[in-house]
Amino acid sequence: MRPMTDSVRLPAALRALILVLGFGLASLPLPAHGRALGIQEAPGREFVALHYDKREVLVPMRDGAKLFTSIYTPKQSSEKSPILLRRTPYSCRPYGPAEFSENPGPSPLFLDKGYVFVTQDVRGAYMSEGAFLDMRPHIPNKGSNAQVDESSDAYDTVEWLVKNVPNNNGAVGMWGISYPGFYASAGMIDAHPALKAVSPQAPIADWWYDDFHHHGALFLPHAFNFLSGFGRPRPQPTTERGYKLDHGTPDGYRFFLELGSLANVNARWFHGEVAFWNDIVAHPNYDEFWQARNLLPHLKRVAPAVMTVGGWFDAEDLYGAIQTYQAIEKQNPGIYHVLVMGPWAHGGWSRSDGDRLGEARFGSKTGVWYRKQVELAFFEHFLRGQDSQPPPEATVFDTGSNEWRSFAQWPPRESSEGKLLMLENAELFLFDLRKELSVKGGRAPLEFTSDPAHPVPFTQAVSVGMTREYMTDDQRFAATRPDVVTLRSAPLALDVTLAGPIECLLQVSTSGTDSDWIVKLIDEFPGDAPDPEGELALAPGQRMGGSQRMVRSEVLRGRFREDPSRPKPFVPDEKTLCRLPLQDVLHTFKKGHRLVIQIQCTWFPLVDRNPQTFVPSIYEAQASDFVAARQRVYPDSEFRVRLLSPAGR
Most confident of the ranges 2-11, 530-539, 564-573: 564-573
From the list 419, 385, 479, 443, the residue with the least C-alpha distance to 171 is 385
Give residue 645's pLDDT band: very low, low, confident or very high (50, 70, 90).
Answer: low
Give residue 78's pLDDT band: very low, low, confident or very high (50, 70, 90).
Answer: confident
- Phi/psi at 379 (5° precision): -70, -35
Comparing 325 with 244, the larger pLDDT belongs to: 325
Check residue 26 and give its pLDDT: 28
- Phi/psi at 594 (5° precision): -120, 145
Q: Given a cut of 50, is residue 570 above it in pLDDT?
A: yes
- Phi/psi at 417 (5° precision): -80, 145
- Domains of the chain and CATH, by start: 8-206+293-407 (3.40.50.1820), 207-292+412-526+545-649 (2.60.120.260)
Q: Is the peptide bond before 452 cis (omega within 30 degrees of 0)?
A: no
Q: Please name every residue paired with 307 in a beta bridge, in sequence order, or none if there are none.
A: 338
Q: Please name every residue paired with 548 in a beta bridge, in sequence order, or none if there are none.
A: 524
Average pLDDT for 567-592: 97
Q: Given a cut of 80, is residue 436 above it in pLDDT?
A: no
Give residue 426's pLDDT band: very low, low, confident or very high (50, 70, 90).
Answer: confident
Give residue 30's pLDDT band: very low, low, confident or very high (50, 70, 90).
Answer: very low
Buried b (16+ CB within 10 A) or exposed e, 439-465: eeeeeebbebebbbeebbbbbeeebbb
Lowest mean pLDDT among 39-48, 184-193, 243-252, 551-560: 39-48
Give residue 547's pLDDT band: very low, low, confident or very high (50, 70, 90).
Answer: very high
Check residue 153 and give its pLDDT: 98
Angle between helix 150-164 and 179-187 (nearest 10): 80
Check residue 42 and give its pLDDT: 63
From the list 289, 326, 302, the residue with the least C-alpha distance to 151 is 302
State the maximum Cα–Cα separation within the chain, in Å, rounded to a whole number. Answer: 77
Give residue 387's pLDDT band: very low, low, confident or very high (50, 70, 90).
Answer: low
Average pLDDT for 163-185: 97
Round to whole Å and give the CA distance between 11 and 404.
6
Over the stretch 285-313, which tens digit does the pLDDT of each residue have? 999 999 999 999 999 999 889 999 999 99
Give residue 390's pLDDT band: very low, low, confident or very high (50, 70, 90).
Answer: low
Average pLDDT for 328-333: 96
Check residue 422 and give its pLDDT: 83
pTM of the model: 0.91
